[in-house]
């Protein structure tokens, strides 16, 4: 088993994928900046040669060369812009899949809002790389050359240019100093507001039914107002400095022109050199001024880059695993302790049991006893804090996800179906095998129900399965869990939303799966599923109280233990 150890390797790989585009941008910038000398040279020749000689042929020839150079400049600018646009797309394609996999991975201890923020950060970085801001980095190294040429015309012009650049750099640092705290606070508040909004939208039926809409709106509005206030504060400060920098540059350019005129009057430079130097210094100042104008974008891109790097570096890195045989279903849990993401202490500890392939175990206990925590650990959603979960002797981490996933059937307590067709949901959005889809639906007793829907298995169910009832979602979720005849089937309160017909179909499905050799683990509050079990696990306050054959455990515990808490 080999693990990537290079920190931020996904981000680095995405940037390496953009390297040819970056090199091409630098190469085009080299020619573009050389062509920027066309204007000053043309001005020197016109003022110092053409006007004194009054030679129209020379003027036409120079004008033709200048026009060709400017046309080439425009063409190269267009090509450079298109290269940058494509570099942004390359970066996105290289990073989008690893980022989504990391956000959706079990090791990502992030909230729904933070996951959404990561996807927004990717969009922001793509737009940044495809925009005009990277051009500043390509043009800035040419600033010393333009200043040097002005210096060659006259040292006073070069010193004035250096003083002007120093002033603009000071304004840039001031922009960073006054905007960074507000922008960081605004980003944190925006994440908090998004989390409140996502929670309210996910539970909007409860929010509406209990009259909590206005209170959630107040909570969200409070955080949103914080974001607006902080962003307004940062933007106001940045706008003030940008305004000062633009005014400063206008004054500086006029002052440079006045200095050139003074030098020309005293015959230290020519009139053509006066105008040419003004153009050169304006070109030298342009990248520095652009840094000031784009500084907010630089800061936001830097923060987005840091957040993405943290998300991609968190948890487990990509692992290459030797392919193990398909599991048969022998389950062994050894002194298991589980800590929920972001929780301070384990919600489950000291759990140990063994199940042979084809056995069924029911997990019982009051609400909060740790049943759902155990279920999530058994299907590799949450990692053990201590101990181990073994499937056919190997820990779950030793299986590649694409190998382990098809071997597990999982039905969570809150059934979530994804936007798509019913057939796609049952097939887990993999290659659709119609025979397996129908077989799973028949086992779950939902085949006839699906056929009565408008488009049968091709019925679009909407986000979260919104067009279906709770019971229908649960039975289709059961069919998804049974798809492909997995070796281990883990169900969390599978009959919570089922009527008598649905409960009978569930019992038949579990019997059929057990007859097919599947190992079944079910958490429940209802005695109906207890009577089907081979083994019984009793949980209390996150610890294992009893485990053993069903009949033995039932003899040792009071009947009230199995009642609904």
pLDDT digits 0-9 by tens, 470-523: 778 888 999 999 998 999 999 998 877 777 887 888 888 899 999 889 999 999
Predicted pLDDT of residue 7: 45
pLDDT score at 344: 65
What pLDDT, on the 0 to 100 scale, is given for residue 113? 55
Q: Write phi, then psi, for 558 (nearest 5 degrees).
A: -75, 150
> Residue 563 has what pLDDT?
46
Most confident region among 46-55, 241-250, 434-443 by mean pLDDT: 434-443
Q: What is the pLDDT, as a whole number, of residue 558?
A: 56
Whole-angstrom Cα distance, residue 220 to residue 158?
55
Contact 424, 432 (CB under 8 A): yes
H helix or E strand, kind and range, residue 149: helix 143-153
Q: Residue 211: which region, alpha, beta or left (left: phi > 0; alpha: psi -120 to 50)? A: left
Structure confidence at residue 112 (pLDDT): 59
Name the nearest CA neighbour of 230 among 291, 167, 166, 296: 296
Which of the four pLDDT bands, split at 50, 70 and 90, describes residue 549? Answer: very high
- pLDDT tens-digit profile of 529-542? 888 899 999 999 88
Q: Which residues pair with 536 in a beta bridge?
A: 362, 548
Given the structure tokens 């062509």, which residue do they identify? 35
Residue 259 pLDDT greater than 90, yes or no: no
Strand order in the sheet with 360-364: 394-395, 384-391, 331-338, 348-355, 543-549, 535-540, 360-364, 519-523, 488-492, 408-411
pLDDT for residue 189 is more than 70: yes
* Least trusted range by pLDDT, from 129-143, 364-378, 445-459: 129-143
Q: What residue ranges in 23-152 does DSSP mark as E strands?
A: none
Instruction: Locate all alpha helices (DSSP H) within 379-520, ordered by sequence.
Output: 401-404, 422-426, 434-443, 447-451, 470-482, 500-515
Q: Which residues of 9-46 are buried (b: 16+ CB within 10 A; e: fewer)?
A: bbbeebbeebeebbebbeebbeebbebbbbbbbbbbbb
Q: What is the mean pLDDT of residues 463-468?
A: 67
Instruction: Give the contacts of 520 (CB within 8 A, at least 6 positions apart).
Output: 359, 360, 361, 489, 490, 491, 510, 513, 514
Instruction: Give the 3-state secondary structure of residue 323.
Output: coil
The mean pLDDT value for 178-188 works out to 75
pLDDT of residue 537: 93
Q: What is the pLDDT of residues 268-301, one digit of tens each?
A: 888 777 777 777 777 777 777 777 667 767 777 8
Domains of the chain (ranges; CATH) run 2-313 (1.20.1560.10), 331-562 (3.40.50.300)
pLDDT of residue 361: 94
For the cut 60, the answer to whether the pLDDT of residue 69 exceeds it is yes
pLDDT digits (tens, 9 = 90+) for 73-131: 899 989 988 888 888 888 888 888 778 777 776 554 555 556 677 788 888 888 888 88
Give the pLDDT confidence of 205-248 residue by residue, as tens digits.
Answer: 566 666 667 776 777 777 778 878 877 877 777 777 777 777 87
Chain-wide mean pLDDT for the chain?
81
- Residue 170 confidence (pLDDT) above 90: no
Average pLDDT for 341-356: 83
Please name the residue that has the structure tokens 């600033």. 143
pLDDT at 177: 80
Please state whether the predicted TM-score (pTM) of the whole model is above 0.75. no
- Compute the CA torsion angle 62, 64, 68, 71 (nearest 10 deg): 110
- What confidence category does residue 340 fall into, taking pLDDT thresholds of 50, 70 and 90? confident
What is the distance between the alpha carbons of residues 203 and 199, in angstroms, rounded to a whole number? 6
- Answer whether residue 3 shows pLDDT above 50: no
Closest C-alpha to 44, from 231, 311, 240, 279:
279
The pLDDT of residue 565: 36
User: pLDDT band at 389, cuts 50/70/90?
Assistant: very high
* pLDDT at residue 324, as a whole number: 82
Predicted pLDDT of residue 353: 94
Q: Rounded to an integer, what distance in angstroms lies between the CA atom of residue 245 and that of residue 168?
A: 6
DSSP string, 489-501: EEEESTTTT--HH
- What pLDDT is attached to residue 178? 76
Element (H, E) at 520: strand 519-523
The confidence band for 447, taking pLDDT boundaries of 50, 70 and 90, is: very high
Cα 117 off chain centre by: 6
Please name the residue that has the structure tokens 């209170």: 215
Statement: residue 147 has pLDDT above 90: no
pLDDT score of 548 more than 80: yes
């Amino acid at each position: 088993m080999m693990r990537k150890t290079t920190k931020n390797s996904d981000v680095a790989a995405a940037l390496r994928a953009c390297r040819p585009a970056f090199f091409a941008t630098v190469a085009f910038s080299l020619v573009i900046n050389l062509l920027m000398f066309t204007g000053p040279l043309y001005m020197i020749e016109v003022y110092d040669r053409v006007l004194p000689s009054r030679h129209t042929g020379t003027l036409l020839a120079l004008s033709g060369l200048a026009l060709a150079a400017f046309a080439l400049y425009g063409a190269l600018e267009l090509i450079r812009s298109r290269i940058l646009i494509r570099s942004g797309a390359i970066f996105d394609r290289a990073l989008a899949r690893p980022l989504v996999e990391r956000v959706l991975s079990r090791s990502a201890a992030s909230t729904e809002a933070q996951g959404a923020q990561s996807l927004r950060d990717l969009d922001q970085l793509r737009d940044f790389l495809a925009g005009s801001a990277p051009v500043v980095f390509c043009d800035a190294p040419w600033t010393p050359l333009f200043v040097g040429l002005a210096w060659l015309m006259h040292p006073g012009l070069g010193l004035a240019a250096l003083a002007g650049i120093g002033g603009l750099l000071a304004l840039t640092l001031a922009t960073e100093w006054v905007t960074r705290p507000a922008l960081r606070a605004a980003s944190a508040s925006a994440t908090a507001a998004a989390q409140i909004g996502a929670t309210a939208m996910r539970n909007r039926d409860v929010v509406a039914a209990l009259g909590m809409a206005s209170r959630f709106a107040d909570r969200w509005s409070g955080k949103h107002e914080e974001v607006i206030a902080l962003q307004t504060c940062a933007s106001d400060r940045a706008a003030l400095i940008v305004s000062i920098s633009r005014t400063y540059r206008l004054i500086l350019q006029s002052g440079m022109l006045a200095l050139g005129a003074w030098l020309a009057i005293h015959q230290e430079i020519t009139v053509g050199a006066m105008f040419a130097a003004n153009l050169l210094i304006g070109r030298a100042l342009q990248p520095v001024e652009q840094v000031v104008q784009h500084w907010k974008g630089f800061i936001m891109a830097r923060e987005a880059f840091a957040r993405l790097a943290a998300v991609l570096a968190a948890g487990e890195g990509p692992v290459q695993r030797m392919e193990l045989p398909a599991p048969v279903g022998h389950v062994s849990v050894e002194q298991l302790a589980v800590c929920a993401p972001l929780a301070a202490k384990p919600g489950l500890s000291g759990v140990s049991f063994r199940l042979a392939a084809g056995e069924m175990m029911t997990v019982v206990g009051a609400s909060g006893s740790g049943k759902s925590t155990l279920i999530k650990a058994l299907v590799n959603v949450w990692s053990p804090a201590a101990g181990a979960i073994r499937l056919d002797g190997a820990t779950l981490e030793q299986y590649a996800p694409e190998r382990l996933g098809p071997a597990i059937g999982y039905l969570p307590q809150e059934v979530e179906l994804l936007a798509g067709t019913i057939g796609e949901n049952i097939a887990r959005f993999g290659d659709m095998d119609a025979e397996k889809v129908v077989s799973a639906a028949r086992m779950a007793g939902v085949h006839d129900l699906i056929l009565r829907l408008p488009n049968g298995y091709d019925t679009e169910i909407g986000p979260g399965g919104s067009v279906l009832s709770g019971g229908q979602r649960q039975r289709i979720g059961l069919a998804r869990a049974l798809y492909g005849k997995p070796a281990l089937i883990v169900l969390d309160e599978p009959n919570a939303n089922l009527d008598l017909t649905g409960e009978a179909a569930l019992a038949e499905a579990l019997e059929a799966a057990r007859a097919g050799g599947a190992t079944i683990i079910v958490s429940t509050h209802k005695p109906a599923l207890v009577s089907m079990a081979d083994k019984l696990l009793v949980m209390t306050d996150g610890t294992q109280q009893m485990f053993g054959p069903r009949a033995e455990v039932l003899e040792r515990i009071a009947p009230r233990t199995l009642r609904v808490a």
